Chains A and B, each alone.
Chain A
Amino acid sequence: MAQIELDGINRIFQLGDSQVHALCDVSLRIEAGEYVAVMGPSGSGKSTLLNLLGLLDRPNSGHYRLEGRDVTTLSADEQAAVRSARIGFVFQSFHLVPRLTAAENIALPLMLAGLPAHERNDRVAQALKDFGLGARANHRPDELSGGQRQRVAIARATIMRPAMLLADEPTGNLDRATGQEVTALLEALNAAGMTLIVVTHDPTMGERARRRVLMEDGAIRQDLRRGPEPA
């Protein structure tokens, strides 16, 4: 049983009179611990696929089984619970809450999950240390550099120890050096066992992934694997 099983997924958007087929009959299997880069031109359906994988969107038809459980039929709040426990998101524009400090941003998922404050503080302190943000704990996002912001966002995405990490152009708003830092950070998390799915335009980042899914017009054109399969 694969961690992620997509079967015959269709996603159609209604734009005025015309229908846009964002995803056409997509089937995909991703094992736990894989490192997948989803690539393709703009409008190929990469982001729609990622939103579907992250339970932010629902397919018009098809089945999505996450860890053996059909999650397409869950209610919105049940999906929210799955997101909270199993899925971490990293966005191109970081999506940090501007009025909260770095530590508070990282603590958000724990707070939403209803963890008591003292438990939260321990885990946030640990995460700040792990991501090299110890000195920046009480800074607001506008006082942080781009790399630091993305590190805060990654710390937030992983604080609940999710099974998979979904990253949408994580290096898109960063310069080359910082982008590489962030990529290394994500790969380290993957090496520790977390499934990593990255949507990217950047071919060098795509090159590094062990598996590349190339999309075009809402369908998977190529599914390339490199190196040894993860056990």
Chain B
Amino acid sequence: MSPADTLRFATRAALGYPLRTALMVLAMSIGVAAVVMLTALGDGARRYVVEEFSALGANLLIVLPGRTETGGVNPGSFVSSTPRDLTNDDAAALLRLPLVQRVAPLTVGNSEISVGGRLREVMVLGTTADYLGIRGFGVAGGQFLPREDFGRATAVAVIGETIRAELFGNENAIGRMIRLGDRRLRVIGIMGPAGRGLGMNSDELVLVPVATAQAMFNTSALFRIMVETRGREALGPAQRQVENLLRARRDGELDFTVITQDAVLGTFDRILGALTLGVAGIAAISLAVAGILVMNVMLVAVTQRTGEIGLLKALGASTGAIRLAFLAEAGLLSLAGAVAGFALGHAGAWGIRLAFPALPAWPPDWAVAAAVGTALTTGLLFGVMPARRAAALDPVQALMKR
């Protein structure tokens, strides 16, 4: 029997029992669709986080106070246990490094903002003029914080769009005075919309000069220093320069951490990648169940078509030809299930994207290939036993059945 004939024969056989075939294909397609959809969800989450970090801007180094180290007691442990704060002077010193292009010191705190009778809690971010460029934000109206000495506490503020709408409504906000904590500040600008990243939404921020924020929160410490390097390839050398400079400024002690965006991103990428794999593994169980179903259906088919198998043997079919015909049928059922599941899974992923537009829920290529491949493999694997049973039937016994 030629391969084309075997396929045609198997197709006719599968179509000869429409309900059985439909149920089988449905089971297989649910398995494949589950893998496609769940990996789409997992990978979507991974991509969401990656994008979130990319919103930070490229070529970024982040300096944070303190250092987490694994290791026993070292001499440093006895000398000092509290890390020294990062200060505005540190930030200003970093600006002089050749590989550093821009620096933005950050201080963060919560305070109350009030205008007229309206009052609300806001997150206050103390920073400098370069923050806007480093983060890639825009200003919708007015101007951003003035370019001035890091130590100068000018009484101005730039507010987010949501804050503006809530406090001023339709009135013009620029030039108005607000009360932030115990200080009176003049609004000089409104943040542009959709600045997002790392859980901070620029729509709900009040930005003030770093020294103003420090005075407000009565501290000289910085929460972070953001450092932008000259180009992506300068990231590594710049990280060493920053470390060396800051270490020199604090008597040779490395009580701060410099992280690159890549490192953070890589970690999240790995965690969420593993999560996606795990979810895909769980979904793959349904594929195994579908495989067992293929076996069951094919065993029933062999019993149902015993007479036909006997006839084929009488007509001169070799055991190989019969085995192949039944295996081809199992393969076709799995293939149809895989294709239907592929379509179903993509439709599901589309539904997820529709419901959660922020989540880029596209199934990764590897998952789709793996799901369809696994469906075919399980179908064929579980089809072997029924096919062997069909081929091994005694023709005399088989012919006696109708």
Interface residues of B in 1-58 (CB under 8 A from A): 1-2, 4-5, 9, 12-13, 15-16
Q: Are A112 and B311 in contact (CB under 8 A)?
A: no
CB of B321 within 8 A of CB of A112, answer: yes
With A95-B307, A100-B12, A111-B1 known as contacts, the answer to whether A56 contacts B315 (CB < 8 A) is no
- Find chain A residues with CB under 8 A from B9 CB: 111
User: Does B71 interact with chain A (Cβ within 8 Å)?
Assistant: no
Interface residues of B in 283-324 (CB under 8 A from A): 307-308, 310-321
Contacts between the two chains (Cβ within 8 Å), count? 69
Q: How far is the CB of A219 from chain B (nearest CB, A)?
A: 20
Interface residues of A (CB under 8 A from B): 51, 54, 56-57, 76-77, 80-85, 89, 91, 93, 95, 97-100, 108-109, 111-114, 116-117, 156, 160
Tell me if A77 and B318 are in contact (CB < 8 A).
Answer: yes
Is B395 an interface position by the 8 A CB rule?
A: yes
Residues of chain B within 8 A of A85, CB atoms compared: 316
Set A57, A76, A95, A114: member contacting B319, Cβ < 8 A: A76
Cβ A83 vs Cβ B314 within 8 A:
yes
Mind listing 17 A-B residue pairs with CB under 8 Å? A76-B319, A77-B319, A77-B320, A82-B316, A83-B314, A83-B315, A84-B316, A95-B311, A98-B16, A99-B12, A99-B15, A108-B312, A108-B315, A111-B1, A113-B316, A116-B2, A156-B315
The verdict on A81 contacting B314 (CB below 8 Å), with A57-B396, A99-B16 known, is no
Q: What 10 pairs between A and B have smallest CB-CB spacing?
A: A84-B316, A99-B16, A83-B316, A56-B395, A77-B318, A95-B311, A109-B315, A112-B317, A80-B318, A89-B314
> How far is it, in angstroms, between the C-alpha of A52 and the C-alpha of B12 when the chains are bound?
32
Q: Which residues of B contact A116 (CB under 8 A)?
A: 2
| Residue from A56, A77, A111, A156 within 8 A of B5 (CB atoms) | A111
B4, B12, B308, B399: the one contacting A91 at CB < 8 Å is B399
User: Which A residues are in CB contact (< 8 Å) with B395?
Assistant: 56
Distance of A93 Cα from B319 Cα, bound (Å): 24
Chain A: which residue is nearest B2 at the CB level?
A114
Interface presence of B152 (CB below 8 A): no
A97 and B315 contacting across the interface, CB-CB below 8 Å: no
Q: Does chain A have a CB within 8 A of B402?
A: yes
Contacts of A99 in B (CB 8 A): 12-13, 15-16
C-alpha spacing A54/B396, complex, angstroms: 10
Residues of chain B lying within 8 A (CB to CB) of residue A84: 315-317
* Least CB distance, A142 to chain B, in whole angstroms: 12
A84, B320: Cα distance in complex, Å: 14
